[in-house]
Each structure stands twice: as structure tokens, then as C-alpha cells.
């Protein structure tokens, strides 16, 4: 099981605007720690934490943050409308589109996805595979 995912950024304020535009709608709360951001899914006291956490941090070595080619973090939305809404929220919060929400021929008939780049260039996917919604071929 993946416990957490981290992306590096240089502009923490821009990153917070971007990620806080859509992660709370997916159930994440933001916590600040030593100037970095931790997006976690809140759980009731005494319950096991939900994974994975999503951390937004400046590089520990003090160097410039660099987005990886081929690296991506995907967040599951409840439905296709939420994918559209959150993709638009990410754009309005300083992100750039890496692919408008929709179906892709190379993926399954129910995989509805939109792609973003955060202000640092990290790639983010927002997707839904809700079986109660029309698929690509319906």
C-alpha cells in the first residue's frame, strides 16, 4: 500500500492555491508543517489513517524543484461532473491543462480523465470510472 506521495515545488503559495482548489473536494484537509503542505484525509480518533497522504514540499537539498517526465499523481473523483469541475478549479488556481476532461481511446470505456500541470509542472490526473455513468461507447 502506498502511504504517501510527495511533489516538489519552489513557490509554496502558488502550490497551495492550486492544490487547495480541488483536493478538499476529494476529502483532503491541508496541514502546514515547517512551511510545507500535507494534504491528508481526516479520520475519526482511534481509527486507522487513510492513505495515501499527499505532500507538497520544497526539496530537502535546497535545490530547484524539477517535475519528472513520466511522473504523475492521479486522484479519483466521484463522477465525470466532478472531474470537469475540479479540472476547471485547477486551471482557475494557476494550473495548466495537459488534456481536457474526457474519454481516451487508449484506456477502458469507463475511464474519464482530465490532466493538469501544477504551477511547478508536476502532472496531475483527475479521473472517474463510475460504473453508473455512461461510458465512452454508450
- Taking only the tens place, the pLDDT of each residue in 8-22 is 999 999 999 999 999
Q: What is the pLDDT of residue 66?
A: 93
Whether 23 is covered by a domain: the verdict is yes
ω into residue 81 within 30 of 0, thus cis? no
Number of compact structural domains in the chain: 1
> Which residue segment(s) compose the domain that 122 sits in?
4-60+71-128
Would you state the pLDDT for residue 1? 80
User: Which pLDDT band holds residue 2 (cuts at 50, 70, 90)?
Assistant: confident
Distance of CA 14 to the CA centre of its chain: 14
CATH number, domain containing residue 123: 3.10.180.10
Sequence-separated (6 or more) residues with CB below 8 Å from residue 33 = none
Please indicate, yes or no, if residue 111 is contained in any of the structural domains: yes
pLDDT of residue 71: 94
Does residue 1 contact residue 62 with C-beta atoms inside 8 Å?
no
pLDDT at 69 over 90: no
137 within a domain of the structure (yes/no):
no
What gap in Å lies between CA 128 and CA 18, rounded to an integer?
Answer: 20
Confidence band, pLDDT 50/70/90 cuts, at residue 85: very high
Check residue 51 and give its pLDDT.
86
CA dist 137 to 9, 54, 101, 112, 125, Å? 39, 34, 16, 12, 22
Q: Give the residue among 67, 71, 132, 74 at the shortest CA–CA distance from 104.
A: 74
Say how far residue 26 (Cα) sits from the centre of its chain. Answer: 9
Dist. CA 135–CA 138, nearest whole Å: 5
Instruction: Please state the rounded mean pLDDT for residues 57-74.
Output: 94
At 83, list the grid cell.
472531474
In a domain, 107, yes or no: yes
Amino acid at each position: 500500500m502506498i502511504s504517501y506521495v510527495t511533489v516538489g515545488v519552489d513557490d509554496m503559495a502558488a502550490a497551495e492555491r492550486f492544490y487547495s482548489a480541488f483536493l478538499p473536494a476529494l476529502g483532503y484537509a491541508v496541514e502546514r508543517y515547517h512551511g510545507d503542505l500535507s494534504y491528508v484525509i481526516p479520520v475519526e480518533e482511534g481509527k486507522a489513517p487513510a492513505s495515501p497522504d499527499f505532500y507538497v514540499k520544497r526539496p530537502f537539498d535546497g535545490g530547484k524543484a524539477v517535475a519528472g517526465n513520466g511522473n504523475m499523481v492521479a486522484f479519483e473523483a466521484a463522477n465525470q461532473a466532478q472531474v470537469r469541475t475540479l479540472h476547471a478549479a485547477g486551471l482557475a488556481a494557476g494550473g495548466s491543462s495537459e488534456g481536457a476532461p474526457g474519454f481516451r481511446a487508449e484506456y477502458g470505456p469507463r475511464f474519464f480523465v482530465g490532466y493538469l500541470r501544477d504551477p511547478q509542472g508536476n502532472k496531475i490526473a483527475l479521473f472517474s470510472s463510475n460504473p453508473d455513468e455512461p461510458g465512452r461507447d454508450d
